[in-house]
Structure 1
Amino acid sequence: MMHTANGTSRKRMRGDRILRLKTFCDPGHPVNFKGSSFRENVSSLLEFGCRAEGWNGPGTDCWTFQLEVHRNPPACISLFVVEEQVEMSDSLRCHHCTSIGWGRHMVCNKRYHFVLPSKKTLGRSNGPNCEVRETSLLAAVRESRLMSVRGELMHGVVHSNGFGHLLAVNGFEAGSEVLSGHQILDLWDRMCTGLGIRKVSLTDTARKRGMELRLVHAVAYGEPWFARWGYRFGRESYGVTLQMYQRSIEALRCLPLCLLVPQYGTTSRELPAIIAKYQAIAGHSLVSLGQLFMFMMELKDRLPPDAFTTVDYHRITMEPACRWSTKRLEMAAQVIVDALKRANFKWVSRQDVRDAARAYVGDTGLLDFVLKSLGNHVVGNYVVRRMVNPVTKILEYCLEDVPGGNPSHCSRSSSGDTVNVRMRMQTTRVQVRKDLIYLYKCILLGQNLRPAAGIFTVIPTAVRYILDTKHLLKDYRKEITWENAVMANSTIKLLCTVCVRNRGEQEELSQPVTPYEVLTFPGHATLGDIKTTAERTFKEIYLGLKTFTSESIVDVACGDSELILGTIESGSRVVVSGLIVEGDGGQDMYEGGNGIDGLVNCACGVKEDDGERMLNCDFCNVWQHTRCVGIGDGKSVPPFFLCTHCENGISLLPSLLP
């Protein structure tokens, strides 16, 4: 159980109540979001939070929500929501915006951090009067460096304009004790939907059992793991376009298994055996690598953690407590199964099963020993299930058909079909996982296999393109078409943005400098109200527009006293032109700052910053990826670097001298 550090035993108030994790941010849990913007909705949510005493730093405010994971056994976790004043933060600009292509967005006044802290980073003692101890999360809040928080179960940051980034998701694989990655993503997705967040980016580096999930899921399902929540290709990296990415996935998924075995079978004995085993288990033709991966992953999910196995009578006879032969054990087990069959697949108490079997087996010690050994094992064409009745607390048994077939079918089927069914039952989730990892390493990573030839030369390139595609994006407002909005309840909705000019300049900027915001006006509002509301709204959102003054509405020649109704149609896009004080319109207004756009010219074809590791030429100042110039991730950047173009140019200088 995780508790909020209130430090007091005051009476429970509205902000202290426990909310259900599965319904948090659904309508009415805890609030019905009615605002048209993220700022309005997050303010409504924070009214139901509890202020976290002792967690406030310079320019930050913190609230907590107690979320109930499950009731039996009771388990809760704290969700921290930190409001950060960007002007007082050590990170004025957000490099995640640059990575996803939002570098030309203006710096916002506020950032909101949604954090599910891990038990390790929370570091608080239990009890009614918990004391806050210095932890990485608390230190980050106090020092205003929240963008550098690491190791939490979840960390999402949303700018006040509604654009955000999911920075961390750590489920059971990363040490979570109560929440899986699926539960965390479900919670985050509900929050984004309820709060009216516009777009969310993430960098897909998820791994499981040493495998890159974006590669495994691409081969199995044709899309990344995060696609279950609507995240898709967001931006090019290393010059990999959406078309290159899709073709790489298709190339790997369509690789024929009938050619894989001859190509790699001579250097790997396990590979043909694994492919043949799962083709037999499937009961239908697995033709391509994509079909094989998808079947194995779905089979792994269907198998229970304690998968059923056939009774190993030889192993049982080796136990010290066993004094019977294999033949007598098999006979007693069959008698017990026959007794359970007469119960028509209903649960039967242990005593009733024992009494029914005693009519054929007089040795009660043998019956007791076999009954103890049969739990969750396959005998013939049946699974013998064993459990304690939760009401009577009595041990009970029943029979189940072998999954994937029924007894009558198995008895009439060929011997090959029966072998396939038993093979499926003998395959455990752990074994499927091991086989999947082996195929991943051998086929996709090319470990322990001879160099690829023929059509298989495409594998390394396709794998690299998929692994390079890490920047994913979800547009939560994609389905909203404001152009088709109609006037309702005597209100008018407009999509509004601003373009600014410095004092003394006569020409306005050719492009708006901010994303469009939804502004709502009453039916009697005037054009002057648009200018006033836009000025106030954009001052609240953006740090660089603190001195913005609206002057006119672009392409609208009417006066300020004219009514909106009849002049501008509801749902239209409106651009408000204005002025900012000289000196406030520098590059610090933008998330990308001065940036390096226009100075990027890498051999991979990239012409702008894509968030990957780069270095610049000391002669021409052009930026290139370190990987593209032969400097690996683990290597340090040399103190002096010349790009190929400058290096070749300098090498020609001696020949030009007289």
Structure 2
Amino acid sequence: MHGGIGSSMKRKRGERVFKFESFCEPGVPSHFHGCFYENIMALVEFGHRESGTNEAMKCWSFSLELHHRPIFVKLFIVEEIVALSPYHHCHYCQSIGWGHHMICNKRFHLVLSSKESANPMVEGLRLEAIFRGADPANKVSKSLESQGHLMRGIMHASGFGHLICVKGIEGGSEFLSGNQILFLWDRICNALHVRKVSLIDVATKETMELRLIHGIAYGHSWFGQWGYKFSQGSYGITHQIYQKSIGALQALPLCLLIAHLGCSCHELPMIITKYQAICSRTLLTLGDLIRFMIELKNRLPTNSTTNTTMDFHGIISEATCRWSQKRVEMAAQVIVRELKKSESRWIARQEVRDAARAYIGDTGLLDYVLKSLGNHVVGNYIVRRVVNPVTKVLEYCLEDISNNALPACNNKNMVRFRCHVTRAQLMKDLLYLYKHILKERRPAFTSGIFGSIPMAVRIILDTKRLVKDYDQESRSPRKMESGLMNENLELMCTVHVIGGGGKQLPPYEKVSMPTYSTIGELKRAVEKHFREMYLGLKTFTAVMVENMGGKDSDLVLGVMEPGSRIVIQGRIGENGEEMEVYESGNEERMIDCSCGAKEEDGERMISCDICEVFQHTRCMGIADAEDAPRVFLCSQCEHDIVAFPAIHY
């Protein structure tokens, strides 16, 4: 599917235009109070029905105005009838751990078009699909997997969905950033009462994996800003392992990195010192440094050579400074001279203050300079200041930077240090840290505190599958007296297929019926609702309500309260037993990998030709770029074959 973007894109006569920044905010275009399926069907009523589509693949478009310029983007919503599609199963559901979900009758594709994908056919939109049972002479190639768009998401009628791709400025967008697109997507999901959305985090910044850089800086992925969290780790990774890996990288001391890597990575000490001089607080760990660099980058103007400057003279010009420049410089030099005597040893603040009082009688001036000197450069030294974690006392130390190739000062007696940083230089420095600390394997990383770096990096990079839960309120059952006030009874219902194996129950659905409905009418209402929702339940027949007695003629209110959660047991008819019910398929795959994985995680697997157990190809020593062998035996079966006794004739 393709669409257009830009000021030259023609809008249809009478087509309604929405503001991009406010689309799907409360009341825009309407308030939605139903379940996801009801809400999205209400939303498309405000869109433009595209011509050239049919009942099996309907499409609506929304024209969104960007900023106050005559620039418009197109949002397409495509309703797909799963029964007519050659693709019944959703591999995104399988890889995120939702294989037990039932296949819905409908899927909705939400696409934000890009200028590059514009197509004159159907005024910028081209729908292409191969429908099951269609005449081959009339079929066209499918393009639902087309990459010519800025955003694409899939929503199942049950309210579970997947964000497939987002392309901001670096991905080819001319006007929209990734942040703007994510905020639009989040507003749509909130407005339509989506339940859960998954995504695969492969976002990059230049050549850096954002889930690694952002994880070290903030403890979560870039998508965590919108509430996407760890869901299912690949290769047996648990949430605890993931958090420990992030914590290990965040806590790497910068002083040890300089000591171990400073000789081989000559720019590392300079980079650390440069940003420490700019920062107003102490940067002790790798997490502190990367977070500060990201925050600084966001404050720097884009495509600008403007410098960020740290100037010690700024302290003197502050309103809180009542001393002259000469007196401040003199006090600073006295403090530095006393710290030199310690020979790089950490000294408590009170000890430094007492020693300096022999030369500076003004204790107020000393207190002011001691407060201001932390992590500032004086001559060829940086005055370091930290809080002792044991004594909770401020301590000071000098770090010699005379050999770190920092910008030279014209006068060593001047308490002045200027550090120039542009956005381009900052990104270059960040890339240097990423490459030399996180990606390259070095001899220093084979033991001690650094021995865990390669493994921690691999674990974070393998954690790509994230989920946002939009349905938190439904997890706590609540009373729905409002339903009774409206002369309706609302219950949270799901179904259990008798003889359907040990699959988890489908998500609970809100079913509304007249207040004085009977148990028999309840079963018919649930039966109708789930038949319309799920492909494999078209022949579902409700039999009984679990854990509840009574006859079909009894009133529901006599045996349960409004808002209760109930399970309806039933059977699938003979014709329905042949239908594919679950996203993972009706056949179970046995997964038992050496990494600990016991279920599908979206990574490439191979099955043993004897025991038919699936394992990851990577865990079996098969590289991702290498083709899987045609015949494969797992280590256990191979061992058993070797252990067979020899046959003598």
Q: What TM-score, normalized by structure 2, do the two folds share?
A: 0.79
Q: 1:85 to 1:403 in 2, by over 3 A?
A: farther
Structure 1 647/481 Cα, relative in aligned 2: closer, same or farther at 3 Å? closer
Deviations 1:327-372 (A, max 9, x none): xxxxxxxxxxxxxxxxxxxxxxxxxxxxxxxxxxxxxxxxxxxxxx
1:76 aligns with 2:72: yes
2:562 paired with 1:570: yes
Spell out the pairing of 1:121-136 with structure 2 (5 A cutoff).
Answer: 121-124=117-120, 132=123
Matched, 1:600 2:596: no
CA deviations over 1:223-275 (Å, ceiling 9, x no partner): 11101000000112101011100110111101111111111111111111111
Aligned-residue RMSD, C-alpha: 3.1
Structure 2 counterpart of 1:118, one-letter code? S
Q: Which residue of 2 aligns with 1:18?
A: 17
- Sort the Cα spacing of 1:594 and 1:422 in 2 relative to 1 into closer, same or farther, 3 A: farther
Query: What amino acid is aligned across from residue 486 of structure 1 in structure 2?
Result: M
Aligned match of 2:600: 609
User: Is residue 442 from structure 1 mapped to residue 436 from structure 2 by the alignment?
Assistant: yes
Is residue 2:253 matched to residue 1:256? yes
1:50 paired residue number: 48
Structure 1 residue aligned with 2:239: 242
SS of the residue aligned with 2:543? strand
Q: Within the alignment, does 1:530 sit opposite 2:533 as a pair?
A: no
- The answer to which of 540-549 and 617-626 deviates more is 617-626
- What do residues 89-144 of structure 1 show as CA deviations (whole Å, max 9, x unaligned)? 121100111111111111110000000122222234xxxxx864786x65689758
Query: How far off its partner does 1:494 sit?
Result: 1.2
Q: Which amino acid aligns with 2:528?
A: R
Aligned counterpart for 1:229 among listed residues 222, 226, 236: 226
* Residue in 2 that maps onto 1:298: 295
Distance 1:404 1:174 in 2: 46
1:20-55 Cα offsets, whole Å, 9 max, x none, are: 1111111211111021x111101110100101112x
- 1:497 match: 494
- In 2, Cα distance between the equivalents of 1:131 and 1:533? 40
User: Which of 523, 539, 556 is residue 547 of structure 1 equivalent to?
Assistant: 539
Match of 1:120 among 107, 116, 122: 116
- CA deviations 1:281-318 (Å, max 9, x no partner) are 113211111111101110111112255657xxxxxxxx
> 581, 586, 594: which is aligned to 1:589?
581
2:469 paired residue number: 475
Deviations along 1:382-417, one digit per CA (max 9) or x if unpaired, are 9xxxxxxxxxxxxxxxxxxx7998599698364856
Amino acid at match of 2:161: G
2:613 aligned partner:
622
Aligned CA distance change for structure 1 residues 268 and 483 (closer, same or farther; 3 Å): same
Please point out which of 494, 511, 514 is paired with 2:506: 514
* Partner of residue 218, structure 1: 215
CA displacement at 1:149 relative to structure 2: 3.1
Letter of the structure 1 residue corresponding to residue 99 of structure 2: G
1:180-205, Cα deviation, whole Å (9 max, x unpaired): 11011101111111101111111111
1:64 paired to 2:58: no
CA contact (8 A) 2:197 2:469 kept: yes
- Look up the equivalent residue of 1:632 and give its one-letter code: A
Give the 3-state SS of the residue equivalent to 1:484 in structure 2.
Answer: coil
Tell me the amino acid that sits aligned with residue 109 of structure 1. N
TM superposition shift of 1:600: 1.2
Instruction: From the superposition, tell whether residues 549 and 555 of structure 1 become closer, same or farther in structure 2 (CA, over 3 Å).
Output: same
Deviation, 1:221, is 0.4
**Equivalent position to 1:153, from 146, 150, 155:** 150
| Structure 1 residues 219 and 75, CA gap change in structure 2 (3 angstroms) | same
Map of 2:105 onto structure 1 = 109
The residue that corresponds to 1:633 in the other structure is 624
Shift of 1:633: 1.3
Residue aligning to 1:31: 30
SS in 2 for 1:174: coil
Answer yes or no: is the 8 Å Cα contact 2:9–2:72 preserved in 1. Answer: no
Partners of 1:286 and 1:434 lie apart in 2 by: 19
Q: Which moved more, 1:186-195 or 1:588-597?
A: 588-597
Q: What amino acid is the match of 1:105?
A: H
Is the partner of 1:473 in helix, strand or coil?
Answer: strand
- CA–CA distance in 1 between the matches of 2:642 and 2:8? 66
Deviation sequence 1:521-579 (CA, Å, 0-9, x none):
33223222311211111011001111112222222222223222232111211111222
Kindly tell me: are residues 551 and 595 of structure 1, through their superposed partners in 2, closer, same or farther at Cα, counting changes over 3 Å? closer
1:64–1:264 Cα change, 3 Å: same
Q: 1:6 to 1:181 in 2, by over 3 A?
A: closer
- The residue aligned with 1:649 is 640
CA distance in 2, matches of 1:422, 1:115: 54
Distance in 2 of aligned mates of 1:190 and 1:551: 40
Partner of 1:187: 184
- Which region of structure 1 is more displaced relative to structure 2, 555-564 or 602-611? 555-564
AA of the residue aligned to 2:40: V
Q: In the alignment, residue 452 of structure 2 is paired with which amino acid?
A: V
Maintained 8 Å contact 1:69/1:75: yes
Q: TM-score of the superposition, structure 1-length normalised?
A: 0.78
Percentage of identical aligned residues: 45
| Unmatched 5+ stretches in structure 2 | 132-138, 333-375, 383-414
Q: Which moved more, 1:256-265 or 1:637-646?
A: 637-646
Secondary structure of 1:438's counterpart equals helix
Distance 2:292 2:43 in 1: 43
What is the distance in 1 between the residues matched to 2:317 and 2:640? 73
- Residues 5 and 113 of structure 2 are in contact (CA less than 8 Å); yes or no, is this contact kept in structure 1? no
- The amino acid of 1:18's aligned partner reads V
The amino acid across from 2:44 in the alignment is: L
* Structure 1: gaps spanning 5 or more residues: 125-129, 311-376, 383-401, 503-507
1:39-96 deviation line (CA, Å, top 9, x unaligned):
1101110100101112x2672100000011111x321100000000001112110011
Alpha-carbon shift at residue 178 of structure 1 (Å): 1.3
Shift of 1:586: 4.4
In structure 2, the residue matched to 1:168 is 165
Number of equivalenced pairs: 554
Relative to structure 2, which stretch is displaced further, 171-180 or 424-433?
Answer: 424-433
- Please identify, of 427-436 and 584-593, the stretch whose mean Cα deviation from structure 2 is larger: 584-593
2-structure distance, mates of 1:601, 1:418: 61
- Of 421, 424, 443, the residue aligned with 1:427 is 421
Supply the distance in 2 between the matched residues of 1:613 and 1:509 (Cα, whole angstroms). Answer: 27
Q: 1:235 to 1:657 in 2, by over 3 A?
A: farther
Aligned position for 1:466: 460
Whole-Å Cα distance in 2 between the matches of residues 644 and 228 of structure 1?
A: 43
Q: 1:88, 1:6 → 2: CA distance? A: 32
More deviation, 252-261/451-460? 451-460
Q: Are residues 84 and 656 of structure 1, via their aligned partners in 2, closer, same or farther at CA, if it must alter by over 3 Å?
A: same
Q: Structure 1 residues 459 and 531, CA, compared in 2 at 3 Å: closer, same or farther?
A: same
SS at match of 2:100: coil
Alignment match, 1:202: 199
SS of equivalent to 2:298: helix
Match of 1:40 among 38, 41, 51: 38
Distance 2:304 2:585 in 1: 56
